[in-house]
A and B are shown apart, each in its own frame.
Chain A
Amino acid sequence: MSIRCEHAYRVHIASAIVDESIDAHPPGLDSRAAQRFRVYRNNVHGALIGALSDAYPVVRSLVGEEFFAAMAREFFLSETVRGPSLALYGAGFADFIERFEPAASVVYLADVARLERARLESLHAADAEVLDPSVLPGDGDQLVHARFTPHPASRLIASAHPVVSIWLSHQPDAATTNITAASEHVLVTRPGFEVRTLRLDEPAGAFTHALMQGATVQTAYSSASAEPEEFDVVAVFSSLLEAGVFKHAFIQKGDWQ
């Protein structure tokens, strides 16, 4: 074996692991050893594809096992940094899918991946009590000046596609439904240890987004830019409180005298 130093040895093995061409194997190995070397390559590829597969089950189900594995392989081969814990592996997968030409015909695929990523991040986010609605001022004139800090497990995604409806239709207990083209906002929360996925329409999504960015209720309401008959702010606001979107409420000096 002509290995001069340990570093060169590892460089060769690391490249042989990613390069699947049959000739790619560490130097000095006979063909029999090279054939055995594929155990490592299979383990590495299997572990990374498996981790993505666990994190993106609906994406996998939308494109099928084989396509998913090929797409996952292209993804991890494009990575330049990968940490030693796979618990939150696959952060850039949705953006990768968006640029991945062979998947371009499934226009909503990247947004479904964003939804699944939001759920994974929410699951593993820091624990915190959700906002207790009873601490809010009962007086509506005061409440409009309130601002909120989002709960660490809350995520909101705006999509031009009916991503929540698509995601719901791929859940194990889903009823068959017709999905109509519409933009949907995805709200993900984790008030206890269970992740919730909620669908918001355009005004409710814009309102929630503004609140999560720290706007007052009043400002958030105007950013929803909807007619009162299209947007029941009271109902939406209480559903947000119930879902546990927020951790704290506060009224900034100057917002209200």
Chain B
Amino acid sequence: MNTQAEGSACADTRTRGAHAGTCSTEVPASSGTSFKPEHAANICEDPGSAAWFEVHPENYMVAGGPRLAQLEALRADYPLSLHGVGLSLGGGDPPDEAHLAALHALVARFEPGLVSEHLAWSSHDGLYLADLLPAALTTATLTSVTNAIDRTQSALGRQILIENPSSYVPRPHTWLPETQFLTEVAQRSGCALLVDVNNIYVSAHNLGFDARDYVDALAGAPVGEIHLAGHSLDPNDGDPILIDTHGAAVADEVWALYRRLIRLIGPTPTLIEWDTDLPAWPTLRGEADRASEHMRQATAVERVAS
């Protein structure tokens, strides 16, 4: 790919119009990373180092300016994924129409290969709470989440993916198992799943279940994307918990779970998320390379086995 082409991330975005969509739309079954403006220059000097990039659409819900222009330049060279945090699908109410319209405008402009959201809620009574709060995994929520996804998919005119959350607080026994909830939502709404392997590991530690059982329960589920990230251990006053910080390298145990998942579902677009304590580009790129290597190995084992 010629990264010096008009409209690429390496051209001077101040002197030309942008040409989004010159690169293929489809996110390939290989590894990508979160896109951070701090890495823009490195990505341009290191072309093809990640196969695709992901951003939070909420950061781009502005009228104009350099942020949108930079994303347009990136999109000219790479497939893109929009990973939303603001639709509050688990909040019981239909999604906010103004937010859906803003998301739709970004989808139309950037033609992302993947659009995803979370099994969580983040707004209450008109106030955005800036975190992914745990949805009650009940049959009533199953209906309201399915309806919210239906509304989102029809407003965007495309399929979305739903991500499993990281959990910290024990759940009532009456709640549905998370994998059952997610696969049921996918079946009813036609959405796909975004499986965050680090979230599985963190939740398994915090809630006391076996992460491998969770992964195995995803056999046959429509998984369209995988997330990997780092976590940290919080002593929490004698009750140690893992916190999903997106601020460290992927843990060995998470790589093992990842290989297990890949063996189960085959090669899948995989994203390295890194949002806090942002490292220099070579470190993030190195994590994406490791993901590719694990995916290759897990798939090779699968081929030998079959």
Q: Please, which residue of chain A has its CB at the minimum distance from the CB of B175? A: A1
B127 touches A88 (CB 8 A): no
Q: Does B30 contact A (CB under 8 A)?
A: no
Cβ of B112 under 8 Å from chain A: no
Given A40-B168, A87-B59, A124-B63; A79-B127 close (CB under 8 Å): yes
By the criterion CB–CB under 8 Å, are B13 and A193 in contact? yes
Q: What count of chain B residues pass the 8 Å CB interface test? A: 53
| A10 lies within 8 A of B99 (CB) | no
Chain A residues near B131 (CB, 8 Å)? 17, 40, 43-44, 47
Q: Given the complex of chains A and B, what is the CA–CA distance between A66 and B234 in angstroms?
A: 23
Determine if B172 and A1 form an interchain contact, defined as CB atoms under 8 angstroms apart. yes
A13 at interface (Cβ–Cβ under 8 A)? yes
Interface centre among A6, A28, A123 (most CB of B within 10 A): A6
Are B129 and A36 neighbours in the complex by a CB distance under 8 Å? no
A43 touches B236 (CB 8 A): no
Q: Is the CB–CB distance between A84 and B122 below 8 Å?
A: yes
* Closest CB in chain B relative to A11 CB, distance in Å: 7
Contact call B168/A37, Cβ cutoff below 8 A = yes
Inter-chain pairs besides A39-B243, A80-B127, 14 sampled, C-beta below 8 Å: A1-B172, A5-B140, A6-B141, A10-B133, A11-B124, A14-B124, A29-B170, A36-B169, A36-B236, A82-B126, A83-B128, A87-B60, A126-B63, A127-B69
Asked if A190 and B62 make an inter-chain contact with CB atoms under 8 angstroms apart, the answer reads no
Interface flags for B40-75 (1: CB within 8 Å of A; 0: not) read 000000000000000000111111111101000000
B280 at the interface (CB under 8 A from A): no
Nearest Cβ distance between residue A124 and chain B, in whole angstroms?
Answer: 4
Contacts of B303 in A (CB 8 A): none
CB distance A86 to B130 under 8 Å? yes
C-alpha gap A10/B123 in the complex (Å)? 10
11 A-B contact pairs sorted by A residue (CB < 8 Å) = A6-B138, A10-B124, A17-B131, A35-B237, A36-B241, A79-B127, A81-B127, A86-B128, A124-B62, A124-B63, A152-B63
**Interface residues of A, Cβ cutoff 8 Å to B:** 1, 3, 5-7, 9-11, 13-14, 17, 28-29, 32-33, 35-37, 39-40, 43-44, 47-48, 51, 79-88, 123-128, 152-153, 190, 192-194
Question: Is B64 touching A124 in the complex (CB atoms < 8 A)?
Answer: yes
The distance in angstroms between the C-alpha atoms of A83 and B169, with both chains bound, is 26
Q: How far is the CA of A86 from the CA of B99 in the complex (A)?
A: 12
Do residues A127 and B130 form an inter-chain contact, with CB atoms below 8 A? Answer: no
In the complex, A221→B60 CA distance in Å? 40
> Which chain A residues border B182 with CB–CB below 8 Å?
none
Nearest chain A CB to B209 CB, angstrom units: 16
Residues of A within 8 A of B189 (CB): none
Shortest B115–chain A CB gap in Å is: 15
Residues on A with beta carbons closer than 8 Å to the beta carbon of B13: 193
Q: Are A84 and B92 in contact (CB under 8 A)?
A: no
User: Is B127's CB under 8 angstroms from A125's CB?
Assistant: no
Chain A positions within 8 Å of B168 at CB level? 36-37, 39-40
- Complex CA–CA separation, A177 to B66 (angstroms): 32
CB <8 Å contact, A190 and B65: yes
B86 at the interface (CB under 8 A from A): yes
A189: shortest Cβ distance to chain B, in Å? 13
Q: Taking A47-B130, A84-B96, A84-B122 as contacts, is the C-beta distance between A124 and B86 under 8 angstroms?
A: no
A35 and B123 form a contact (CB under 8 A):
no
Residues on A with beta carbons closer than 8 Å to the beta carbon of B60: 87
Nearest CB in chain B to that of A28: its residue: B172
Cα separation A44 to B143 with both chains bound (whole Å): 27
Cα-based distance from A58 to B217 in the complex (angstroms): 51
Q: Which residues of A contact B64 (CB under 8 A)?
A: 124-128, 152-153
Decide: A85 near B59, CB < 8 A? Known: A14-B125, A40-B131: yes
Complex contact A123–B65 (CB within 8 A): yes
A85 and B136 contact, CB distance less than 8 A: no
Q: Choose among A33, A43, A48 the residue that contacts B169 (Cβ–Cβ < 8 A).
A: A33
Closest 9 CB pairs of A and B: A84-B86, A124-B62, A127-B64, A47-B130, A193-B66, A1-B172, A14-B124, A126-B63, A43-B131
Contact with A along B107-125 (1 / 0, CB 8 A): 0000000000000011111
- Chain B residues lying within 8 Å of A51, measured Cβ to Cβ, are 130
Given contacts A35-B237, A82-B126, whether A124 and B65 have CB atoms under 8 Å apart is yes
Give the Cβ gap from B140 to chain A, nearest Cβ, in Å. Answer: 5
Q: Which residues of chain A are within 8 angstroms of B96 by Cβ–Cβ distance?
A: 84
Q: B87 at the A/B interface (Cβ < 8 Å)?
A: yes
Given contacts A36-B168, A84-B99, A126-B64, contact A6 B128 (CB under 8 A): no
Asked if residues B128 and A82 are in contact (CB atoms below 8 Å), the reply is yes
B224 contacts partner chain A, Cβ-Cβ < 8 Å: no
**Do B92 and A7 touch (CB < 8 A)?**
yes
Contacts A5-B140, A82-B126, A84-B99 hold; do A193 and B236 have CB atoms under 8 A apart?
A: no
